[in-house]
Chain A
């Protein structure tokens, strides 16, 4: 199953943290910073799997049974889109390559919802970010991988604010958003076309 789904930017500021088990905030922060150190040191050509961060690394002397190992997070998958890193921490029951695809699906869905998504969209519409993830993963189990259905599911929950952001925060958000406008560079940097 999936243990955590994280999104943070190139400076290590979290944009979305979803832990499917509850952790103390301080440990969450430590984990994020550990993963960020691992991720930020990786050049683009490297594979999308990280060694386990120290916090998650199993105690060296543990000779636990295979069964217990199945329960322990053992895989950290990441993808980098423009300024953002998407990280999935999962157990051995998930397929590593499928997780890469899952992140891809997530980003595609966001792109569909926001139309050329960029980091600012995610900052000002974190609810949509969560809702989209909620349509794909519930309680650590993947429930939907079809972009159409995900988008439909999110839209059913209410309108998705688009740039320029509506209502009150329209002025500030809109200006910045239009200025950035770079998007996450969808399509350009797909390393992986397996699905």
Chain B
């Protein structure tokens, strides 16, 4: 009951509910409210009990089911109880009435038709000036709930609401009314002029802070601040509101006021950023508030008002906070700004002691969630609109390096969860996002690349020193940073050190994604360290390199059996490649004084050429989705009708081959050096750079093969694979494995489909951000918006190759895309569904479908009324005809007609009453007339007719049926009618 399960007691609760004693009944209802759900099965048995209690005579008993119904209501229950509930709207006690109003609203949420029936009565209550104030307030509350769903239906009631707002004197109700008006004003602009005086008056006079706030809030939400004809008045209101809000935010006030004022500012900032920007000083104070709730609201706000002018100061403020909380060093002047590379390196020494201070720090450390949030916001603020607000990239990189240190260590995650939910992880690991930013800057801003690469180098060296000592978990930032270090190895200060650090780190990495990237980076670094063909091939160099290779192989070796395939594959490839190279190097005699020898070409040419394709540009998010699927390509169609068989065959072929002694012998036996350095192979290798596609993966896939084999196979396949859909991005003849897909495609599409000619670049431009949209379409680079100072030459490269998305190591194939897309939409749908069923949420969306609420002018109502009128008219015709007949009868049998008439009249009365309750008047008229007639039957016909006609006339007139009647009456009556 208080958080404990009591579903087992449902039936007993029902029994107690049915008790005769009020006190027991009350307990029973309480139990029902707390424990019944709409799907509780005993609920069906409760229907009659509820009906009975609703009709009880004691108000306290009536209010029990009324109060309980909102908790247990179901559509079927609503249908059966609506009839019992409606009369309670006119109960003598206001307490019952107001509860009934709310219960009817809840009924309508599950059974919208209920509102249709109830609304006229509720409206009647609302319009009734003499109604109890609390009932009116309850109705206003309900209308406020309904209001935002169907504002149109409540517009006609605006005058009454306005009246209540002005004369109500109830602050609670006024708050709700203002909220209601805020939803109405967008529909009826004229309301604004009417509302402004009372609202400003309230703002100036009210003593209740809540009402004051809601007035301001209503003005904001109702769009009253918006531009319009009456400019000066609006200006006045705006300044009044903002000044009041400023007062709320300012330092010494109540934290609650601060919070709500920030909420209000958050709403204003969307439409009137300049108004909020004026209050920047006080808002920034809030960022430093002790209260994290207030801080977060202030951050929301700050994010909306950030510009290139205040970005640095805002971020510095946040950085200071983060630093203080991570209990770092003594406050450093301007936070991260002064935090340059030199101090960083000196910080390293104090890294260990830093952690010790953390616990002793005076300020309570910020919760990780908050820290993560703040870091995320910093990144977002800086990278907004493709770095539009950022002026000083050097500063930004310093901030990023600092952030990597501050970032909270993510909770240790097991590998499984990583594999199954990679997207969820991205959201969590803030460290990786920081790294991504660093990488983005390195990739996009060419001018700043050296700085960024140095920063990455620094981070890596720091990580390696830290990890060995204290931290067991490698932050996700390593992944993009390793990429930067590997990709731009030529910018490194000392590639040797970087390689050393990375080799040290690699064995401690758990996350396979990070690991895969690091392996790639290691080989890239190796290529840049070893692949220098200018340096002479001295004995020292030879031994140093063979040592290095031995070390790399040693580090990589354990990963050859890594459970993650990506890691395993890369490790195996690189190991084999390096082994080959090591052999080649061992076989190449060092140059002596008299004989100049070159380093083995495998070392200086082949390996570096693996990584010197085109420069990789960043691809706009979602670009991949724009690659059109070629006509006739059915992604759901099996690749090969008998694919499984083929695969099985391939397996059975491959497995013995892999385990074959031949291979082992081949690798383990020392090959004659000539096999590598022989002429033709070298020649081909020298050509290789032309053929290297912009992808590492494709090369990597084959790198376990001998270099000459690679070259030959490449040449062979070049022609065959030119229209392979998996390689649409590269315009060169890219190599690829021969797949069944390719053959199928060729068969299906015929020779005239040239996938290479798919206009990828044009599509790309649509999706690009603002800065690139203005760039020349032909170029993949876009000139950055002109920046002051030295930033002018900076270029941000935004567009690019399709098949590669940044550092992503997964080849994106159409197949992949398709499945991704499917799962995406599925997930979205699921999320949407989930949102709809969000916890605690009362789903009122049904009400949207209720097309016609209430108000008098609704079309259906009109129609109904017309039908009713027609019905009434028909009834009257029947009546009249009967009367005629009666009169005829009377004329004939004056003497004995009385008893017969009486019966007829009675009957008539009944039918009329049943058919139309409203027509009491008219009916009475008829009744009176008939009675009179009875009396006067003997006295004189003519007179009786006349007087009866006089009685009936008002009714008839109201119904506008005079002409028809005249036609149908006989002479006497017609004359009488006209005489009226």
Contacts and interface: CB of A to CB of B under 8 A. Distances in A.
A185 to B, nearest CB: 19
- Residue among B60, B179, B256, B840 with most chain A CB within 10 A: B840
A98 B210 contact: yes
A72 B841 contact: yes
B976 interface: no
A96 B33 CA distance: 26
Nearest to B297: A49
B209 A60 contact: no
Contact of A51 (B138, B296, B836, B843): B296
Contacts of B137: 143-145
A112 interface: no
Q: Top 3 nearest A-B pairs by Cβ distance?
A: A139-B70, A97-B210, A194-B209
Contacts of A21: 840-842
A109 B949 CA distance: 63
B393 interface: no
Contacts of B172: 98, 142, 145
Contact of B263 (A15, A93, A96, A149): A96
Contacts, number: 203
A192 B843 CA distance: 33
Interface string A72-102: 1100000000000000010001011110110
13 contacts: A20-B842, A56-B838, A56-B839, A127-B26, A127-B30, A130-B33, A135-B95, A140-B106, A141-B141, A143-B101, A144-B98, A144-B134, A145-B172
B208 A157 contact: no
A62 interface: yes
Interface in B577-594: none
Task: For chain B, give the interface size range.
Answer: 35 or more
A50 interface: yes
Contacts of B209: 97, 194
A70 B148 contact: yes
Given A27-B839, A194-B209, A46 B834 contact: no
B103 A46 contact: no
A188 interface: no
B778 interface: no
Interface string A10-25: 0000111111111101
Nearest to A48: B256
A59 interface: yes
B779 interface: no
A93 B291 contact: no
A71 interface: yes
B604 to A, nearest CB: 49
A73 B293 contact: no
Given A56-B840, A141-B141, A15 B2 contact: yes
Contacts of A47: 254-256, 258-259, 291, 293-294
Interface string A129-150: 0110011001111111110010
A165 interface: no
A103 interface: no
A62 B838 CA distance: 12
Contacts of B187: none
Given A71-B842, A71-B844, A127-B26, A143 B831 contact: no
Contacts of B142: 141
Contacts of A71: 841-845
B835 A72 contact: yes
Given A23-B840, A59-B834, A95 B214 contact: yes
A138 B102 contact: yes
Nearest to A61: B831
Contacts of A143: 98-99, 101-102, 134, 137-138, 141
A135 B98 CA distance: 10
A43 B23 CA distance: 41
Contact of A127 (B27, B176, B834, B836): B27
B23 A158 contact: yes
